[in-house]
Amino acid sequence: MSSANGPSTAHHSPVGVSGPAAHPAPALPFELVRRGKVRDVYRLPGLSASGESRLLMVASDRISAFDVVMRTPITGKGRLLTDIAAWWFKFIEQRRICQTHVLSTRLDDLEPDLLARLSPAQRDFLNGRVTICRACEVIPVECVVRGYLEGGGWKEYQESGSVSGVRLPAGLRQCDKLPEPIFTPATKAAVGHDENISFDHAADLIGLETAGVIRDLSLAIYKAAAAHALARGIIIADTKFEFGVPLDDRARQGRAWVQPVLIDEALTPDSSRFWPADGYAPGRAQKSFDKQFLREYLEELVAAGQWNKTPGPDGLGPDLPERVVLGTLERYQAAKDALCAE
């Protein structure tokens, strides 16, 4: 997920336009606010028909693991991510769990004068990859929800018996289902790994009211999504969300605290662990429809002394063989096919 600290005029902190250079999108005739590991964010000129400041978020085919962007793209991944996130944003809004930043995922919903700035090649690249969204100030806390014990949560539990300050029952196994989903926030690091923190620490950073609201929203979204997924044979083991405050709402309301909205993306294989329910067996790692397939390949490279989980001189991770590229894409497509249906 993307990082931010402090006020911003966009979804992401104004860290400049530096970022992964792999697989750059065609240059666009809009101001580039931020290039993240996967998404590029542009500021759109003017206001929407409803008078809102807007951003254009473009999902690339880049993929990262261990906070490093790989040298090889997963062709088609950006469009899959956009489709999956858009489906979940609609799911969340229709159930009135919370508002989101999404205005449209159709490039043709831009004003004619903005579309006229794009070449045919640019429009071809952007179709299916864009989210037109409200400009927000990011709340600088990652909202992680865990329903099962895996990944960094499993590692922390083995060391301390707790995750982000939440004490858990003794004797839990890898991938065990937790008695109740837990909110385990993390700080949003501009560089390197995010750091798990307690709810109290999050409240110190962003205020108790905001911390309580985004905790409750995160848990509500997770529970609704997990129930939907399980009915379709998929376990959502954990996921993470980002929230922000629409800049125009704050200006209109004339007060410091404004109801947060869900931003960035939601419940994609980039940000979630998806397991097939029919093969679930705690006590071991699970088969998955997410980035775990890539992580396992990279761990093989580490074990063989061929990579050390740091970027190379070009700022990128290793090349990926075709079987890993295709296998990753197949898992992302399987997640979409299983989850994105009523």
* CA–CA distances in Å: residue 151 to residues 38, 69, 174, 294: 21, 19, 9, 14
Decide if 215 is inside a domain. yes
3-state SS record for 145-211: EEEECCHHHHHHHHHHCEECCEECCCCCCCCCEEEEEEECCEECCCCCCCEECCHHHHHHHHCHHHH
Decide if 148 is inside a domain. yes
What gap in Å lies between CA 194 and CA 131, rounded to an integer? Answer: 25
Mean pLDDT of 3-23: 39
What gap in Å lies between CA 53 and CA 9, rounded to an integer? Answer: 9
What does DSSP assign to residue 27? P
Number of domains the chain contains? 1
* pLDDT value at 22 more than 70: no
3-state secondary structure of 282: coil
* CA–CA distances in Å: residue 308 to residues 14, 292, 304: 30, 17, 10
- Mean pLDDT score across all residues of the chain: 89
Decide if 227 is inside a domain. yes
Task: Give 260's pLDDT tier (boundaries 50, 70, 90).
Answer: very high
- Joined tokens for residue 32: 């580039």
Task: Give 330's pLDDT tier (boundaries 50, 70, 90).
Answer: very high
Residue with tokens 């750059």: 24
Decide if 249 is inside a domain. no
Mean pLDDT of 140-169: 96
Task: Give 316's pLDDT tier (boundaries 50, 70, 90).
Answer: very high
Tens of pLDDT along 114-129? 999 999 999 999 999 9
What does DSSP assign to residue 263? E
User: pTM score > 0.85 for this model?
Assistant: yes
Give pLDDT, residue 7: 31
- Joined tokens for residue 3: 């990082």
Give pLDDT, residue 251: 60
Least confident of 248-262, 302-316, 326-340: 248-262
**In angstroms, how far is CA 109 from the centroid of its own chain?**
24
Give pLDDT, residue 256: 61
User: How many other CB atoms are there within 10 angstroms of residue 119's CB atom?
Assistant: 12
What gap in Å lies between CA 321 and CA 301, rounded to an integer? Answer: 12
Residue 150's CATH number: 3.30.470.20
Which helix (DSSP H) or strand (DSSP E) does residue 68 occupy?
A: strand 68-69
Give pLDDT, residue 101: 96
Q: Is the Cα torsion angle 126, 132, 135, 136 positive or negative in sign? A: negative
Decide if 84 is inside a domain. no
What gap in Å lies between CA 89 and CA 98, rounded to an integer? Answer: 9
User: How many other CB atoms are there within 10 angstroms of residue 193's CB atom?
Assistant: 11
* pLDDT value at 217 more than 60: yes
Q: Decide which of 204 and 19 is more confident.
A: 204
Give pLDDT, residue 13: 35
Burial class (CB in 10 A: 0-12, 13-18, 19+), 142: buried
Decide if 214 is inside a domain. yes
Decide if 121 is inside a domain. no
Task: Give 48's pLDDT tier (boundaries 50, 70, 90).
Answer: confident
**In angstroms, how far is CA 312 from the centroid of its own chain?**
24
Tens of pLDDT along 70-100? 999 999 999 999 999 999 999 999 999 999 9
What b/e string do you get for 25-59 counting C-beta neighbours within 10 Å, with b at 16 or more? beebebebbbbbbbbbbbbbeeebeeebbbbbbbb
Mean pLDDT of 258-275: 95
Range of the domain at 170: 141-242+271-279
Decide if 128 is inside a domain. no
